[in-house]
Amino acid sequence: MTNAPGPFSDRYSRQELFAGIGPQGQAKLRGSRVAVVGCGATGSSLVTLLARAGVGNIRVIDRDYVEPSNLQRQSLFDEHDAAESMPKALAAAKKISAVNSDVHVDGVVADLTPANANDLLGDAQLILDATDNFETRYLINDFAVQQNIPWIYMAAVSAYGLTMNILPHETACLSCVFPAAPQGIVETCDTAGILNTAANFVASVGATEALKFLVGHTDKLRRSLLSFDLWSNDRSEIATSKPRADCPTCGAHQFPYLAGEGRPHITLCGRNSVQIHERHRPISFPEMEGRLSPHGRVKHNDFVLKFWHDDYEMTLFPDGRAIIKGTTDTAVARSLYARYVGS
């Protein structure tokens, strides 16, 4: 049976009437396990769609916290989450539990790195990319190709969205289509803004492709890089049905991002911010509050500590990771971290 008896026993009845899913497909969804990397605009919509569709196990991985500017487009969160600076992964898990208690959401407050990729992604049937940077996407691509785990690339900025299904060794991978990360000036949410409809469009397409895969209709999966501008109505597709013969990832099995080569500080989408990738530095928030209080305003909950000093805002996580808001200069961010947290 796909539905437990009770007041919500017909929860999936309309979805089961759809011929592409049916009762058997719904049962497969209930036993499925996916990982969603990133829970911003695209990710929050994606998690909502998958949970409401009955995907039984969803791991949400996100390093960031909710703030007021997120509320325009990040549909899982509310003003209370922003006021409390709730980590997005934990806020998402709490919200989904109120929407569909049949679904288990594992909210992980972490930055996806080469060191934790296997722990966070290794048990997933499907990986869904809802990140905001190519470094993490190439890491996902390296891991997915190495481990032969399908994944779906998604991105949205301004009114523009694009997405691609990647079936390792069968279709093109990210490196086949983008041999190197974009160079020079690249549009971000901070410079070009974003429509919530663009993020929802990409999430809807990605979630539908995920459902096709999870119920076993891989023959229906799109084998192209799809891009669409919702404002201008421009649309394009690039065929991705075959791996590129000279792809270093697919062909030569080179995985530099998984090896952690040249991992930089990351400027986050949507804010004038730099993330400091400190790990294995356990932070006592009460102790840190005592240290920082003479230098500026401090507040914390169980999940994050926020510190304001001059024009900068530091958000510190329990593992020692920090987001420095007010600069894109990594040297300035590192200096502030070393001065107030330690080197």
Contact, 162 vs 202, CB < 8 A? yes
- Which helix (H) or strand (E) segment holds residue 93: the answer is helix 88-99
What is the distance between the alpha carbons of residues 29 and 78, in angstroms, rounded to a whole number?
Answer: 28
In angstroms, what is the C-alpha Rg of the chain?
Answer: 20
Please choose, from the candidates 99, 101, 105, 68, the residue with its C-alpha nearest in 3D space to the C-alpha of residue 86.
68
Positive or negative, the CA dihedral 216, 220, 225, 227 is negative
Catalytic residues: 189
Burial of residue 170 (number of CB atoms within 10 Å: 0-12, 13-18, 19+): middle
**What interhelical angle do 196-215 and 22-30 show, nearest 10?**
100
Please choose, from the candidates 341, 343, 321, 339, the residue with its C-alpha nearest in 3D space to the C-alpha of residue 274.
321
Listed in sequence order, the residues at least 6 apart from 214 whose beta carbon sits closer than 8 Å to its beta carbon are 28, 29, 32, 34, 55, 125, 126
DSSP 242: S
Listed in sequence order, the residues at least 6 apart from 49 whose beta carbon sits closer than 8 Å to its beta carbon are 203, 204, 207
- What token pair was written down for 74? 């990040």
CA-CA distances (angstroms) from residue 34 to 104, 179, 247?
A: 11, 26, 27
Residue type, 246: D
Note the helical H segments in 193-343: 196-215, 285-292, 330-340
Contact, 11 vs 17, CB < 8 A? no
**Residue 163 — φ and ψ, nearest 5°?**
-155, 150
